Amino acid sequence: MKLKSFVASLCFIVFLGVAGITVSAETNDEILEEANKVAEKHGLNTTDTSEFKGERLEFDSVEEFESFLQEQDKLEQQESQMQLFATSNPTYCEKNLTGKICVEGTVKRTSSGMITGVSNVHSYQSGVIFGITWNELYTDYTYSTRSGSLWAVGEKTYGIAIEGIPAGYVKKHTITRNF
């Protein structure tokens, strides 16, 4: 009789453990599904998290992740509205507290200030931007004798964890520098 009680108790404990894991997995899936919807709303697509190298941005909730993305959107909008002018080697950087993503190039001018050419357009990430990596896809430029623009198109990859659940997102992004 004691053996039957023990076996029944053991089966019950195993059942609870399996049920607990199943509930936990459903919760993880629900969190990721909600995070994916938020990311999509902000122009991000899911990506393989195993590809992400480095520190992840940690969020306690999907709401906190969404607040972060709203701030990122505001920063990108403010930066895209800035008009900066320079005589040579224009550089424009999107900055955060610990790092930046920049586009720069060389502008050739005559002694009277007329633009005669643009070269060496490239982008780079410097400093430490936790949870975000930059991958340049291409650069380009346009100019007239008095002004111009150079830009870099690339992808920002976001490595995150929400409630400890890893996720990855990628967003195509353009950094523009007017001169």
Q: Where are the domains of the chain?
A: 9-178
pLDDT of res. 86: 45
Whole-structure pTM value? 0.69
Q: Is the pLDDT of residue 10 over 70?
A: no
Please report the pLDDT score of residue 72 as a whole number.
82
Kindly report which listed range (52-56, 100-104, 107-111) carries the lowest average pLDDT score. Answer: 52-56
| Average confidence (pLDDT) over 124-131 | 81
Backbone angle region of 43, left / alpha / beta, with phi > 0 → left and psi within -120 to 50 → alpha = left
Cα angle 124, 75, 41; round to 5: 100
Looking at the predicted structure, is the pLDDT value of residue 26 above 70? no
State percent of the chain over pLDDT 90: 27
Please give the Cα distance from 179 to 84 (Å, whole number).
Answer: 6
Q: Is the pLDDT of residue 85 over 80?
A: no
Q: Is the pLDDT reported for residue 12 higher than 50?
A: no
Average pLDDT, the chain: 78
For residue 97, the model assigns a pLDDT of: 59
